[in-house]
Chain A
Amino acid sequence: MTDSTLTPEANDTSAKAPAPSRSLYALDDLTKKRNAAEKRFQAYGIAAILIGLLFLVVLAYSIISKGIPAFTRTVVQVEFTITQEQFDAAEKELFKTKAYERFFIGALQGQFEESGLNVPFDAKAIERIVGKTGGTIREYFRANPDKLGEPVAFELAASSRVDGYMNGRVTRETMTDSRFLQASDLDIVDALVETEVIKTVFNWNFITGADSGVDNPGGAGIGASVIGSFFMMLVVLFLSLPIGVAASIYLEEFAPQNRFTDLIEVNISNLAAVPSIVFGILGLAVFIQFMHLPQSAPLVGGLVLTLMTLPTIIISTRASLKAVPPSIRDAALGVGASKMQATFHHVLPLAMPGILTGTIIGLAQALGETAPLLLIGMVGFVARGYPDGFIAGFTEPNSAMPAQIYTWAARADFAFYEKAWGGIIVLLVFLLSMNILAIILRRRFERRW
């Protein structure tokens, strides 16, 4: 020992020996490098999140700004009185609706004079703004003769061009005079807005109504296809949840591990990756052409979407069954529970949050699916009315929200484009509420173990 300390090398190390207690305040190079790498990684992460948020904001902004006009509509509100004598006189005329139109125009004129405005207008211009009004007024008084002689407030839908002018889609600069609207009409519209005859009101019809014809974007509503989607979701829920959960429980808890079950397993995963349009054409061939189920029916749509949703549900259910600790199964078997009792009393309740989340995510996917529905004929223009009754809801031709949106977006009239965006908002509201439901259910069923 003493010898070795005398050698120069040993001296060297002993001179350095106090040095090993390097100060903790001085960072060595490796630590610096590592810290820098860590900082960089965090910066990347934050940047990624910010980019994601930016896209989200842009998306939300454009959807909302473009879709909001679909929820409003422009109406012309006029109040006037028609006496019994005027009614009788009008009914004797040759062009009866023209006579009623005159009442309407007279009332408008009255409004103008009252508020001291002086804008020239004629019957043609009014027709361009609100369409033919005579018929509506006549119908009303024929149906309600008791209203004769008292003031009645009429609320008539403005034409789609005026609607566009009101929400900025049509401007004085971009419009060209046509038989639909002329520049001079806009002066009248401005004046009418000032006198509060023309107003923008909430468009309930968009939420409750059915699809309209190609030439009537104002009357188009998404209600009927919401119902179509609803009935499809019922089919999907009541088929895919029990089948999916039963299949997963069997595969996960009971099935022997062999080639055959391996094969099934692989195929279920493959199925989850099959493009939806494949399921669509399969549905067309099997359900409609072979089994002769009604075309465009939510029942068929639901069956096709069930095929699509099943793999999702099976995969997520199996994952959540796997996540239940085996000690719980042992505990149940140990007190003499059968395998089924152990599964249903203990494993399944613990897997429930995962199963429900998977199911709702599967349903949400199905809700937004378009392509397979187009193949089985659930296109937008089919949704012309509400089904009469619960059973009819499954069998009568209908559309679904995404298919309806697609149909609108493909139509020529620009006003339909607006409706498509509005439809997207409705669809997103549904998806959001489903996701919130998933979170709530998850919270409620979650238990510690």
Chain B
Amino acid sequence: MNEMPNIEQATAMTESKISADKVQVYYGDNHAIKDVDIEIQPRSVTAFIGPSGCGKSTFLRTINRMNDTIEFCRVEGSIRIDGEDIYDPKVDPVQLRAKVGMVFQKPNPFPKSIYDNIAYGPRIHGLARNKSELDDIVSSSLQKAGLWDEVKDRLDEPGTGMSGGQQQRLCIARAIAVSPEVILMDEPCSALDPIATAKVEELIDELRENYTIVIVTHSMQQAARVSQRTAFFHLGVLVEEGPTDNIFTNPKDKRTQDYITGRFG
């Protein structure tokens, strides 16, 4: 009687990369995330969609504890990555962020050379023992981000001097360089034109082989194109979560349906 659910829970835990349980987030008195439970599958892309201000970014940022930098922000409940509670007092957020990388809405390369942008993470984490190892990390990260051919002759030029799309892929390469297991992306294409967006989407699709990716997007087409699973947020509540196809073709909740058909948002 009692054993069955336990086994189920155990298998669920080994299957999912990230599992959130009754997560609440408060900004002061503002209850921004309410009772969110979600299982995020490894080596897949999960999209967060929902109207503006519904808490997508907030929830995304709880996954690598970027909310710690906001003083009056409080997180309750538990978020486990590979079964380990990341809000456990023993966990150092800095170490966590090396494992859970992040790509931001606006491309934010360091005002340094392209090379240094990529090399910074590996340097502070001591991932390379010497210059040639560091060179390898830089070139392989840029290759994975599909940027290598465009920048291999100008690695010492400033990263801020590239086009917006290139900058965003540079930021993705920078996140990859510290070999994370999870990559969080908050509207990574919102500042990009359709061609640059297509490139980034292609890249996300390739990265899925090796990384667990969570992406926030306002574009339902984008969610449909890149993600395997989709989660719909509304007013701080996770309304519905499931395989992307199901969410878009056969939503269970009225609110999801309304949002997808463009009735609000």
Contact = CB atoms under 8 A, between A and B. Distances in A.
B111 A447 contact: yes
Interface in A407-449: 447-449
Nearest to A329: B69
A330 B121 contact: no
B109 interface: yes
A334 B104 contact: yes
B193 interface: no
Interface stretch (B1-9, B32-40, B76-84, B171-179): B171-179
A265 to B, nearest CB: 15
Nearest to B120: A335
B66 A328 contact: no
B199 interface: no
Contacts of B71: 256-257
Q: Which of A333, A338, A350 has the most CB of B within 10 A?
A: A333
A448 B69 contact: no
A336 B178 contact: yes
Nearest to A330: B104
B20 to A, nearest CB: 20
A327 interface: yes
A337 interface: yes
Contacts of A96: none
Interface in A223-263: 256-257
Contacts of A449: 111, 160
A330 B158 CA distance: 19
Contacts of B66: 330, 333-334
Given A331-B108, A336-B94, A336-B95, A345 B120 contact: yes
B54 interface: no
B43 interface: no
Contacts, number: 70
B111 A350 contact: yes
Q: Which of A325, A330, A338, A345 has the most CB of B within 10 A?
A: A330
A336 B120 CA distance: 10
Contacts of B121: 335-337
B102 interface: yes
Nearest to B95: A336
B94 A337 contact: yes
A103 to B, nearest CB: 75
Interface size of B as a range: 20 to 34
B110 A327 contact: no
A333 B97 contact: yes
A332 B104 contact: no
A334 B110 contact: no
Interface in B22-39: none
Interface string A335-375: 11111010001100010000000000000000000000000
A332 B120 CA distance: 9
B195 interface: no
Contact of B178 (A325, A328, A333, A335): A335
B101 interface: yes
Contacts of B98: 335-336
A327 B108 contact: yes
Interface string A296-337: 000000000000000000000000000001011111111111
A334 B97 contact: yes
Contacts of B158: 448
Nearest to A255: B71
B124 interface: yes
Given A256-B71, A333-B69, A328 B108 contact: yes
A336 B124 CA distance: 8
A335 B106 contact: no
B174 A335 contact: yes
Given A334-B97, A335-B121, A336-B98, A327 B104 contact: yes
B175 A334 contact: yes
Contacts of B177: 335
Contacts of A346: 110
A159 B64 CA distance: 82
A449 B101 CA distance: 22
Contacts of B120: 332, 335, 337, 345
A341 B98 CA distance: 14
Nearest to B69: A333
A381 to B, nearest CB: 53
Interface in B46-103: 64, 66, 69, 71, 94-95, 97-98, 101-103
Contacts of B97: 333-336
A305 to B, nearest CB: 34
B235 to A, nearest CB: 25
A448 B104 CA distance: 19
B108 A330 contact: yes
Contacts of B103: 334
Interface in B155-195: 158, 160, 171, 174-175, 177-178
A120 B177 CA distance: 95
Interface string B104-117: 10101111000000
Given A341-B124, A448-B158, A332 B110 contact: yes
Nearest to A256: B71
B263 to A, nearest CB: 34
Nearest to B104: A330
Contacts of B109: 331
B254 interface: no
B125 interface: yes
B104 A335 contact: no
A254 to B, nearest CB: 11
Contacts of B124: 335-337, 341, 345
A256 B71 CA distance: 7
A329 B110 CA distance: 9
A448 B108 contact: no
Nearest to A350: B111
A332 B101 CA distance: 11
A41 B137 CA distance: 59
A331 B103 CA distance: 8
Q: Which 3 A-B pairs have the closest CB atoms?
A: A336-B98, A335-B121, A327-B108
Given A327-B104, A331-B171, A335-B97, 5 more contacts: A330-B69, A330-B108, A331-B108, A336-B121, A447-B111
7 contacts: A325-B108, A330-B102, A330-B104, A330-B108, A334-B104, A335-B97, A336-B94
Interface of B: 64, 66, 69, 71, 94-95, 97-98, 101-104, 106, 108-111, 120-121, 124-125, 158, 160, 171, 174-175, 177-178
